[in-house]
Chains A and B, each alone.
Chain A
Amino acid sequence: GNSVTQMEGPVTLSEESFLTINCTYTATGYPSLFWYVQYPGEGLQLLLKATKADDKGSNKGFEATYRKETTSFHLEKGSVQVSDSAVYFCALSDHSTGFQKLVFGTGTRLLVSP
Chain B
Amino acid sequence: DGGITQSPKYLFRKEGQNVTLSCEQNLNHDAMYWYRQDPGQGLRLIYYSQIVNDFQKGDIAEGYSVSREKKESFPLTVTSAQKNPTAFYLCASSMPGKADTQYFGPGTRLTVL
Give chain A's interface residues, CB within 8 Å of chain B: 32, 34, 41-46, 49, 89, 93, 99-102, 104-107
Contacts and interface: CB of A to CB of B under 8 A. Distances in A.
22 contacts: A32-B100, A41-B106, A41-B107, A43-B4, A43-B90, A43-B104, A43-B105, A43-B106, A44-B43, A44-B102, A44-B104, A45-B104, A49-B101, A89-B43, A99-B56, A100-B97, A101-B33, A101-B45, A102-B45, A102-B100, A104-B42, A106-B41
Contacts, number: 52
Nearest to B109: A41
Given A42-B107, A99-B56, A100-B97, A106 B102 contact: no
Given A105-B42, A106-B42, A100 B100 contact: yes
B99 interface: yes
Contacts of A101: 33, 45, 48, 58, 99
Listed from nearest, the 10 A-B pairs whose CB atoms lie closest are: A43-B104, A100-B99, A106-B42, A93-B100, A104-B42, A104-B43, A44-B104, A43-B106, A43-B105, A32-B100
Contacts of B104: 43-45
Given A43-B92, A105-B42, A106-B40, 11 more contacts: A32-B100, A41-B107, A44-B43, A44-B104, A45-B104, A93-B99, A93-B100, A99-B56, A100-B100, A101-B33, A106-B41
